[in-house]
Amino acid sequence: MHYSSWPRQSFSFALFFFAYYGYVGVFSPYASLYFADKGMTAAEIGVLMSLMQVMRIFGPNLWGWVADRHQQRVGVLRITAIAAVAAFAGMFFGQSFTQLLIVMAAVNLFTSAQGPLSEALMLSEMRGDLTHYGRLRLWGSVGFIMTVAVAGPLLDRYGIRVMPWIALALLALVLASTIRMQETTHGDLHQDMPSVLALLRKREVIAFFSSTFLMIAAHAALYVFYSLYLAQIGYNNTVIGLMWSLGVVVEIGFFFFQAPIFRRFGIRKLMIASLLIAVVRFLLIGFGAQSLLLLLLAQVLHAATFGVHHSASVATLQRWFSGPLQARGQALYTSISYGLGGTLGGLVLGGLWDTFGPQTVYLMAAMFALAGAGAATLSYRWQAHHREEKHEVDRQ
């Protein structure tokens, strides 16, 4: 592997991922505890946290469309970074549920677009060669684990009110990283672009997005309820932070060795394996979390349920959305999976939590993942069938 083969903006991408997922690492696990400290009810916390997913339905598609239409992905990324810092400042002044609702809607409208935009920019510069994708993307995992690990003890010592200050500092670092970035030029701007709507009507694309929708709906059991669940069992903030960190450590390991793993096993096998492993993971959490050993084992499986699944999804997307459609492809993935899937998953699982308790939440999450494995199997089968038909036409 030669240094010259790395994307020329590798440092900027690595810094962005470190800061952006570092922000997620402090806000996602601890925001629910912060809102509880502010006096919000469980139902109000559920609504506030769900806005992280709800705004992913609209934000990525809006900003992705603007970025692709004007081919100004870096410019749009900077605008959203500036706006996110300004909007997050409202977190210090919001006291009532309505005020915090407005702040969360504004912050997440801008932050929701930054992940897919940055990945689209990096994938465009890589021009279809994903060899170094994992080793750049792992810096997001490093940022996440560092902030989760450091924030836990800090919050135990100084109180949950410190959380917004850490989050704001990381959003400022996100802004600093975007100032370093430069636009990637495309040689195919004037070629005919396939219609996004036409792509979305393909049965293999529908099945693919259905599987990612179900997988992220299942992960709402983690993103929304995991910290509250562990706190309810009796674990403290430091242990909760370490649990999140363990999952990300093994995720970093996967990203580092991603290229040879994908060459060995292929996208289809790894995607379906990640969904089936998710079934096991959610059952372990739901029915074994009182055992620290089983909880540790479940967190180790995060390498598969997030790391493998995310990379397999990005690689699969390249078959349909590349070049001028890069930002919209990443936006659709984020909106359908994390936006719709995360939102509806959170609502369904939230209802189950209140009515039947935490174990039912994780049982349903396992069922979502199992259904996702079925949808993914259909998608890859139809993709293979489509390729066979195309070869048959080419031979005639």
For residue 280, how many other CB atoms are within 10 A of its CB?
A: 16
User: Where is average pLDDT lowest: 5-19, 35-49, 185-199?
Assistant: 185-199
User: Is residue 190 included in any domain, yes or no?
Assistant: no
Domain-located, residue 333 = yes
pLDDT at 395 over 60: no
pLDDT at 193: 59
Residues 307-346 pLDDT 10s: 999 989 988 988 887 767 777 788 888 889 988 898 889 8
- Calpha distance 349→360 (Å, rounded): 8
pLDDT digits (tens, 9 = 90+) for 60-69: 888 887 877 7
Q: pTM of the prediction?
A: 0.79
The predicted pLDDT at position 352 comes to 92
pLDDT recorded at residue 130:
66
Is residue 258 assigned to a domain? yes
Which CATH number covers residue 296?
Answer: 1.20.1250.20
Q: What is the pLDDT of residues 279-298, one digit of tens each?
A: 999 999 999 999 999 999 99
Q: What is the pLDDT of residues 348-379, one digit of tens each?
A: 998 899 889 899 999 999 999 999 999 999 99
**Residue 188 domain-assigned (yes or no):** no
Is residue 189 assigned to a domain?
Answer: no
Q: Would you give the distance in Å from CA 311 to the centre of its chain?
A: 11
Please give the mean pLDDT across all residues of the chain.
Answer: 85
Per the listing, tokens 């990637």 go with 184
What pLDDT, on a 0 to 100 scale, did the predictor assign at position 60? 83
In terms of residue numbers, what domain contains 244? 10-183+195-395
Nearest to 119 by CA among 317, 341, 262, 338: 317
Tell me how many domains the chain contains: 1
> Residue 217's pLDDT band (boundaries 50, 70, 90)?
very high
Higher per-residue pLDDT: 55 or 98: 98
Q: Using one digit for the tens of pLDDT, what is the confidence trace for 23-59?
A: 998 998 788 889 988 888 888 888 898 788 788 888 8
CA-based end-to-end distance of the chain: 41
Supply the DSSP symbol for 202.
S
Q: Is 51 exposed, middle or buried (0-12, 13-18, 19+ CB in 10 A)?
A: buried
- pLDDT of 65: 79
Query: What pLDDT is attached to residue 285?
Result: 95
Task: Determine the Cα–Cα distance for residues 264 and 245; give it in Å rounded to an integer.
Answer: 28
Q: Is residue 4 domain-resident?
A: no
